[in-house]
Chain A
């Protein structure tokens, strides 16, 4: 039964992916991407990983969709038809896929108890979490305590990513040049309060 459900979900995933590849309307692509994320979240549930499923549903299906729609609004919604040869890119893609599939041959079978992730530190975490940390959710214990340093790095990555987007989109004008956020209404340098282009208009009013 579980095999059947997993196969069915993966087939849906395949169908959605093919649909995305052949779709020209980018609005439709975004919607299909949302469906993809939800199917992926369902697969994560089937794999007993509710933490990941929750993240996938919220980030992949929720926020990514909103951001992509916001981006679509700034650009065109119809994908340009491909010009020239598609053979070379297709070959590169096929070669990469073949290499990746070849690489999976060396991976341990799904769910094997003897595989490295199951036999290395995981038994220690499972056994020691009630003693060391005293909380039932081992995922949280590993994430926040045993691997706290890694999580700090993760948060820093999120922080730097956000910072990069903010710097790119705040669109401060370079002196003498046309900046990214150039607009007829903007005259940032003259603002006495030093308000920037990316700031909400409310603050300036």
Chain B
């Protein structure tokens, strides 16, 4: 996949727009269809697209696994944290009215923060699942399916093959040190 010039150029051109669209869906969710969940999925999908074309290794350099694993709980913390702040400000759990002197403005802040939490967790979980799936090699499932590698070439997504080569190559390096 890495040698496919058209794909590489087109994806590099398209990705900023995909990510911008995710942000639009996120922050325009109060006015148009969308919100944290959809935006998180679109954001994760754009990174996955990058991984399919440029390989898992390059993607790890852009979005490290540590970052992804941090995002997963961070979103829930933001969401629940807003609720706790509401309690500290004298309201009920997730009562956004307390966030500002003007209750309606407080609702705006609350929704914005809460949607941010949703975005962070959803994007993190989607990416984490993808990383963990794509990072595995064939025959690791424990069913002894080592012979399956021989008749493989015709039956899998091209992008996956690329990820595998990355992985097996780096496995060797990891074993060396």
Contacts and interface: CB of A to CB of B under 8 A. Distances in A.
A176 to B, nearest CB: 16
Contacts of B122: 155, 158
A109 interface: no
B65 A139 contact: no
A135 B30 contact: yes
A135 B134 CA distance: 40
A50 B32 CA distance: 9
A135 B131 CA distance: 37
Contact of A27 (B61, B94, B156, B175): B156
Contacts, number: 211
A97 interface: no
Contact of A185 (B60, B66, B155, B174): B174
Interface in A161-202: 161-163, 165-166, 169-171, 178, 180-185, 187, 198-202
B138 A74 contact: yes
Chain A interface size, under 10 / 10 to 19 / 20 to 34 / 35 or more: 35 or more
A200 B131 contact: yes
Contacts of B8: none
A66 B30 contact: no
B133 A205 contact: no
A139 B170 CA distance: 46
Nearest to A76: B148
8 contacts: A51-B35, A66-B45, A67-B130, A133-B107, A135-B30, A137-B29, A151-B79, A178-B142
Interface of A: 27, 50-51, 53-55, 58-59, 62-63, 66-67, 69-78, 132-137, 139-141, 143-145, 148-149, 151-152, 155-156, 158-159, 161-163, 165-166, 169-171, 178, 180-185, 187, 198-205
Given A74-B136, A136-B30, A200-B57, 17 more contacts: A54-B25, A55-B38, A58-B41, A58-B45, A63-B44, A69-B159, A69-B160, A70-B160, A137-B30, A137-B32, A137-B33, A145-B96, A148-B96, A158-B125, A169-B136, A198-B132, A205-B177
10 shortest A-B CB distances, which residue pairs?
A: A162-B125, A201-B170, A50-B33, A169-B132, A58-B41, A70-B133, A200-B60, A77-B155, A135-B30, A185-B175
